Amino acid sequence: MKRIGFIGTGIMGQPMATNLLRKGFQVVAMAHRNRKPIEELMALGAEEAKSPKEVAERTDMCGLCLPTSREVEEVILGPKGLAESMKRGYVIADMGTSYPPDTRRLAPRVVERGGEWLDAPISGGPRGAAAGTLCIMVGGEASTLERCRDVLAAMGTNIFHFGPAGNGHMAKHIQNMIGIVHLTAIAEALTLAVKSGLNPEMVYQAVSVSASNSPGFQFMAPKVMKRDFETIAFRLDFAYKDLRQATAAAREAAIPLPVSNAAMELYQIARARGYGHLDETAVIRGLEEILGIEVRGDPKPPQ
State how far Cα 257 lies from the chain centre. Answer: 21
Q: How far is CA 140 from CA 2, 87, 100, 205, 257, in A?
A: 21, 18, 12, 45, 26
Name the active-site residue from 172, 195, 226, 241: 172
Go through the chain and tell me how many residues it has.
303
Q: Within 13 Å of residue 130, how many CA atoms lie on the same side as its CB? A: 5
* Contact assessment for residue 91 and residue 118, using Cβ atoms and an 8 Å cutoff: yes
How many Å from the N-terminal Cα to the C-terminal Cα in the chain?
50
Count other C-beta atoms under 10 Å from residue 236's C-beta: 23
Q: Note the maximum CA span of the chain.
A: 65
CA distance 189 to 183: 10
Is residue 226 part of the annotated active site? The answer reads: no
User: Helix, strand or coil for residue 294?
Assistant: coil
* Contact assessment for residue 183 and residue 220, using Cβ atoms and an 8 Å cutoff: yes
CA distance 229 to 216: 15
* Contact assessment for residue 80 and residue 52, using Cβ atoms and an 8 Å cutoff: yes
Catalytically active residues are 172
